Amino acid sequence: MANDTQPETHRTLLRNLIARLEKESLPWYSRASSVNLWSWNIFSAVALLCSIATVVISGFLFKEQFATYGKEILVAVAALGTLASGALHLFKFREKEILRETGRIEIQDAIDNAKSLMASAQDEEAFSQAYHSVRARAKAIDESQHAGDSKLKSDSLPELKTPGVPSRGDT
């Protein structure tokens, strides 16, 4: 069978895979990393500011103010701080940001590697090997991200290994 009768060659498949990784996977990981980083920063700041505000407000309230509206203000500020702290623990924004940023770096490296393999491939067999290699790597990255998500949801954080980031037992 001649190459021109095949619906897609491995060169085309590799080119399409690179395009998909660049247009779908990389932006998703970048966005997810940014959202988690901003969420972590915002909720941490809210928790800290509420703690400080509780101390400052309680220090400036007189007995009369405390009896009329001061108690409600202190409870509201403390409740807001507690909700922010609870969201930090429940949603694990910092850990997810690390996980997604690692995924973004790995996807970018896979794209760069795929482009290099594509540039050096000379025949259909080389394109086939490059395509299957890059496809397997992209799948492994997705599986690693899913496993990391599952560990975060099950509070298996000490078992979560992020490449390049030492765990507590490694220090």
Average pLDDT over the chain reads: 90
Give yes or no for residue 164 having a pLDDT over 90.
Answer: no
For residue 158, which phi and psi values (nearest 5 degrees)?
Answer: -60, -25
Helix (H, G, I), strand (E, B) or coil at 162: strand
Q: Are 118 and 18 in contact (CB under 8 A)?
A: yes
Q: pLDDT for 92-139, tens place per residue?
A: 999 999 999 999 999 999 999 999 999 999 999 999 999 999 999 999
pLDDT at 153: 86
What three-state secondary structure class fits 165?
strand
Q: Residue 67's pLDDT is what?
A: 86
- Judged against a pLDDT cut of 50, whether residue 1 lies above it is answered with no
Read off the pTM: 0.80
Query: Which tens digit of pLDDT belongs to each residue from 61-105?
Result: 888 888 899 999 999 999 999 999 999 999 999 999 999 999 999
The reported pLDDT for the residue numbered 157 is: 52
Residue with tokens 């290994």: 161
d(CA 73, CA 76): 5
